[in-house]
Structure 1
Amino acid sequence: MKYCALLFRLVTIQIQSLTQLPKNTPKAPKLAEIVCLHNSAFEATQLAEDILNISLMMQFMSTVMFWCLTMFYASTNINISLCNVLILFFLSLVETYGYSYLGQQITDEAAAVESAIYDLPWYDESVELQNSYRMILRRSQHEVGITAAKFFIVGLEQFGKISQMSYSYYLVLKDSLASL
């Protein structure tokens, strides 16, 4: 996941370096290299998506259940084994946050490519170069990221939603067991 984010970062840096080329230097070879690298970044992200999407969905689903049950256990059992459960809870929290953080990095770096290409004066270039710019612009308009079984893009916003969902399920479980 980090590799994909770094590839998008490299594309952004190379796009920004286009403005620093001397006036008489042809941009077409450099732009062709950038388009190829941008394509490689998309392919690497798609490969990571194919590898990780099912496992990330299982990770997030099990995290919701585990956090909910951990909160319920912590509210009903205060003993020495609670320390072990809280350690597992903390490790699960760190692991899920790590996936979310790396997913957010991919999404942010892919969006930075779009911003960098829009900042260029591409409209002053030849039609041939404008087509290359347009190709990058078109690809950049779609949100890029690693999904959890195509349900949602993994990121920090989803991490927050998972945390809220776990707490909500805990409250429902606690209220339903209290009414018994």
Structure 2
Amino acid sequence: MIVDEYTGIETLKKSDILSPSIQVVIVLLSYKINKSVLQDLIEKAGRFWEVKPEMEEIQNQFRLVRYFMVFYKSAILGTTIYYEIAALTSTERVLPTECYRFCDIEKDSCYWFLVLFVNIAAFVLVWGIYTFDGFFAGSVIQLIGQLKLIKHKLENLKFENDEENLIEIIDHHNFILDFINDINTLYSNILFTQFSSLIFSMCIGSFLLTLHGTPTVNTLTQYVVYLTCMFTQVFVFSYGGQVILDETASVADVAYQTNWFHASVSMQKSISTIILRSQQETKISVGGFSNLDLRMYLYVCC
């Protein structure tokens, strides 16, 4: 979106496309700059990325996340389609979102060219947002599954003659925690940009929603849908970060509740290593300013 000059409220009304545009541009640039890091993460993910089918709890969580992402994708796509239909059914010649008009919109050729351009740009933005959010959500649920798998192995560990399996669990646990740190290194600054643009959009949307007192039906339809997508997007990130915090910390509890006191001294030391490593907070941060958790969600939304 390019605005020729600031015209007060009208300029703010045209800023609804600014947040997703910033998000997609920053994500694509970050992926391009950190392409080798991203490829390395994907290759690392293949090392432990199997979940046993009999672990029904993990499979159920996978299904819930998949259903939520379908809903989330539908909400984003539905919002985009709403803007498209609202523009096409308007009695005036307006565009779904504002852009730099290099020709006279009253001319048919110019109008339909701009409509086509804006539509393509809008769906590219939707694809970019959903791809990043989907990849992030997929990474989170896989990490949660792996942490639950580690706890499952600890609960079923036989300390009398199972030292080899314990070493494998420690290796698995260290790998997952290092993997979370790698994700934080790659995504921390991206998340800071995401949250900054989302906060800007939520502030502008809330302001425009209540600008003239009680909002009309058209205003409600436009901005409530828009704000719902913004709040949902913040929740997806925050909830994912919170669950990772909780799951990494809970490994220490499970390790302590095992029958470690029946084990050999070397195995007891290994269990202590798992507990100490789990007690060190492993987190995803938002640009280093705050943890990615539900507290962050409350700060942003309340």
Say yes or no: does 1:139 pair with 2:274.
Answer: no
Cα distance in 1 for partners of 2:288, 2:162 equals 38
Q: Which has the larger radius of gyration?
A: 2
Report the alpha carbon displacement of residue 82 of structure 1 after superposing the two structures with TM. Answer: 4.8
Which of 10, 21, 31 in structure 1 is aligned with 2:166?
A: 31
Correspondence list, 1:105-120, <5 A: 105-120=243-258
Tell whether 2:187 aligns with 1:48.
no
Question: In structure 1, what is the equivalent of residue 242 of structure 2?
Answer: 104
Q: What is the Cα deviation at residue 89 of structure 1?
A: 1.0
Gaps in structure 1 of 5+ consecutive residues: 165-180
Deviation digits for residues 74-133 of structure 1 (CA, Å, limit 9, x no counterpart) = 111435355223222111111111111111121111122011011123233221111211
Aligned residue pair count = 160
Q: Supply the AA of the counterpart residue of 1:71.
A: S
Three-state SS of the structure 1 residue aligned to 2:273 is helix
Worse overlay, 58-67 or 152-161: 58-67
Post-superposition offset of 1:37: 0.6
Which amino acid letter does the alignment assign opposite residue 156 of structure 2? S
Other-structure match for 1:17: 156
SS in 1 for 2:210: helix
Higher RCO, Cα 8 Å, sep 6+: 1
- In the other structure, the counterpart of 1:177 is none
Greater alpha carbon shift after TM alignment, 92-101 vs 60-69: 60-69
Ranges in structure 2 where 5+ consecutive residues have no aligned partner: 1-139
Mapped contact 2:205–2:226 kept (Cα < 8 A): no
Cα distance in 2 for residues equivalent to 1:123 and 1:39? 23
Asked if 1:156 corresponds to 2:291, the answer is: no
What does 1:66-77 align with in structure 2 at a 5 Å threshold? 66-77=201-212
Find the aligned partners of 2:260 and 2:290 in 1 and give their Cα distance. 33
Q: CA deviation at 1:65?
A: 2.2
TM-score by length of 1: 0.81
- 1:57 counterpart (185, 192, 199): 192
More helix by share: 1
Partners of 1:144 and 1:43 lie apart in 2 by 9
1:6 aligned to 138, 145, 153, which one? Answer: 145
Q: Normalized against structure 2, the TM-score is what?
A: 0.50
2:224 is equivalent to residue 89 of structure 1 = no
Code of the residue aligned with 1:31 in structure 2: it is L
Structure 1 residue 68 displacement after superposition? 1.8
Report percent identity of matched pairs. 23
The code of the aligned residue for 1:2 comes to I
Contact 2:231 2:301 survives alignment (8 Å):
no
Greater displacement, 115-124 / 74-83: 74-83
Q: Say what the alpha-carbon RMSD is for the aligned residues.
A: 1.7
The one-letter amino acid of 1:45's match is I
User: What is the identity, as a one-letter code, of the residue corresponding to 2:152?
Assistant: I
